[in-house]
Amino acid sequence: MNTRTPIVILNFKTYLESTGEQALKLAKISEKVAEETGVNIAVAVQHADIFRISAEVEIPVLAQHIDAVDAGGHTGSVLLESVKEAGASGTLINHSEMRMKLADIQEMVKKTADNGMGSVVCTNNVETSAAAATLKPNFVAIEPPELIGSGIPVSKAEPEIVEGTVDIIHDISPEVTVLCGAGISTGEDMQAALDLGTEGVLLASGIILADDPKKALLDLVGNI
């Protein structure tokens, strides 16, 4: 996974606007914006779309979740080896919509590293972020769940959480990259997040549901 910063990770979630053909279209738009601006953009897509999208774009493609299971009798679970072979170069871990136990987070950070994949651990407060930093993932994305999809960026609503998270994580693990999530949708939001010490953003609906996703992405990264 390309971890160059600043980085934008676009989480497709399960919106119809980012499913199947629409997902491929959005991934190609993301790739085009990355080429035009030089900003590192990655997409976290639904599992059924990983193979198709990873075959048609050069930007990093992430899974939205991987279960802490080994190969065997785990019907319905998402196996790391499966998404890696499908073309995923990393995964989100512990998103607010798919919470995991600490032991499982630890296992998945280790397994992704062992398999040459990137890890993006999502957290909801300073304390959880500090715990995640001890595991040494590639990224920690701070996302207060009450702000997700609200249109209110965490960089403005709760800047002390962002600043405190950056300081604590870098004290624990200087090599971990801190991202800002929840409510991010504009270039002003992203610049505010970068000014608070983060090195990128994790976002979804502000781009996915925009009338013109390419224009929204360009607005997000155009002045970085």
Alpha-carbon distance of 57 to 213, in angstroms, equals 17
Q: Which of 4, 16, 68 is nearest to 46 (CA)?
A: 16
36 is catalytic: no
Task: Identify whether the C-beta of residue 137 lies closer than 8 Å to the C-beta of residue 120.
Answer: yes
The active-site residue, picked from 65, 95, 158, 199, is: 95
Q: Which residues pair with 90 in a beta bridge?
A: 62, 118
CB-count burial class (<10 Å; 0-12, 13-18, 19+) for 16: exposed
Closest residue by Cα to residue 158 from 172, 144, 171, 140? 144
The residue count for the chain: 224
95 is annotated as an active-site residue: yes
- Find the catalytic residue in 65, 107, 143, 199: 143
Catalytic residues, by residue number, are 95, 143
